[in-house]
Amino acid sequence: MYVLIAGGGKVGANLTRSLLRSGNEVTLIEEMSHRFDKLEAEFEHQVLRGDATELFVLERAGIKRPPDLLVAATGDDEDNIVICQLARERYGVVKVIARINDPRNQPYFDLLGISPTVSATGAIMALIEHEVPEHGLIHLLELRKENLEIVEVSIDKNANCQGKRVRSLRLPEGARLISVVRDGKAEIPDEETQLEIGDQVLAILEPGKEDELRRVLLKP
Amino acid sequence: MIGCGRVGSAVALQLNSSDWDVSVLDENEDALGRLGESWTGGFLVGHGMDLQTLREAGIEDADAVVVTTNGDNTNLVIAQVAQKQFEVPTVVVRVLDPARAEFYAARGLSIVCPTSAAIESLVVAVRSTEGALT
C-alpha cells in the first residue's frame, strides 16, 4: 500500500514507522526544519520538507499517483481539513483519514464530509464512558479478544425506537441486535422485527460505541 | 468581517461608512485599534472557528461574510462553514496562495487572491514599458 502522511509530529512519525515496518510505501511531509532534520535522519528520502497544504508539495510527494491512503495528521485542524479536501476532490484519493486536535472542531469535519476522523480526546472519552456504568445500558459480557461486548437495553415508554422496525434503526457500525425478550419469550430479531415498550433487547457491539447505541435506541 | 488586520479593518471601515451594518470579529483585542476611535460598528474578540462566537457576531442574520484572517486554511474552512452551515448569501474570502484560491473558486467560493492580483499588476507594469524600449 502507498500511504501519504501529512505532518511529522509524534502521530505522523510513529505512523510512518509502523507502516514502513509492515512493508508499506510511505511518504511523510513535514514543514518545520527542526522536525524535518530528525525525520530525515531516520526515514531518509521517505520524508519530504514542505507545507502539505501547498499543491506543489503534495504533487512532489506523489499525490498524483494517487496514494491508496492519505492521513492528515498535522497539529492544525484547518490544515487537516484542507489537505483532505485537496486530496479527495482534486487528486482523487479515495481514502483519507483526518486527525482532529481540538474535539470542538469535529462538527466542521462532519459538515465538510471528512471522515473517518480520529481524535485522542474522543477516543479517551469513549473508553471512559465504557468504564463508567451508564444509564440505560447493562454490560453483560465482554469478549476482549474479539473486541466485542454484549449489552442489555430496556425499551421504556420514552425510548426513541419503540414502534420502529430494526431495519429503520441507524445502529452503530458493526452493532447487531441479537435477541428481543418480550413477555418472557426470547426471539432472534430480524430486519422486520418491531420494537415495543417493555422489550429487553440484547445487542452486540464494539466497546466504545455504547453511547451511539444508546442514542439510537433510547433517546426520546 | 472575520479577521481585522490591515485588509479586514480597511474593508470594515469602508463598508461601515456606506450602507452596511458591520460587525467585526478578531482573536486579538488590539485589532479594534485599527478601526479608529470613532468606530460605530460591532466588535467582538474571539476565534472565527467557534460556532458560538460566530452566532454572537450575528452570522445568522448576515447578508455577507468577509473572511480575512491571516491563515489561508482557516479562511477556507470558516468560509465553507458560513456558506454551508449558516447559508450566508455572500461569502468572500481572502486566500494568498493562488493554487488553493483556484481550487476553491472552482468549488463555488468567492475568492479574492491578492497574490494573483499582484502578479498580474507587476507583469502589466513591466510590459507597459515594452514600447518605450524599442
Residues A42-65 pLDDT 10s: 999 999 999 999 999 999 999 999
Phi, psi of A133 (to 5 degrees): -60, 135
**Residue range B44-58: average pLDDT?**
95
Instruction: Judge: B103–A76 Cβ closer than 8 Å, yes or no.
Output: no
Q: What is the pLDDT of residues A192-205, one digit of tens each?
A: 999 999 899 999 99
- C-alpha A61/C-alpha A50 separation (Å) is 10
CB-based contact, B20 to chain A, within 8 Å: no
- Return the pLDDT at A208: 84
A114 contacts on B by Cβ (under 8 Å): none
Least CB–CB distance from A78: residue in B50, B74, B84 = B74
Average pLDDT over residues A3-27: 97
Of A56, A82, A90, nearest to B73 by CB-CB distance is A82
Distance from CA of B13 to the nearest CA of A (A): 28
Residue type, A94: V
Angle subtended by helix axes A77-85 and B72-84, to nearest 10: 70
CB contact set of A30 (below 8 Å; sequence gap of 6+): A7, A8, A12, A36, A39, A47, A48, A49
List residues of chain A with CB under 8 Å from any CB of chain B.
53-56, 76-79, 81-82, 86, 89-90, 104-105, 107-108, 111-112
- Contact residues for B71 (Cβ-Cβ < 8 A; gap 6+): A78
Query: How far is B129 from chain A, CA to nearest CA, in Å?
Result: 32
Q: Which residues of B48-67 are buried (b: 16+ CB within 10 A; e: fewer)?
A: bbeeebbeebebeebeebbb
Of A54, A76, A78, the CB nearest to B99: A54
The 8-class DSSP code of residue B30 comes to G
Residue A124 in this model has a pLDDT that exceeds 60: yes
Q: Hey, what long-range contacts does A138-142 have (CB within 8 A, 24 or more apart)?
A: A140/A202, A142/A207
pTM assigned to the model: 0.77
Transcribe B82-95 into DSSP letters: HHHTS--SEEEEE-
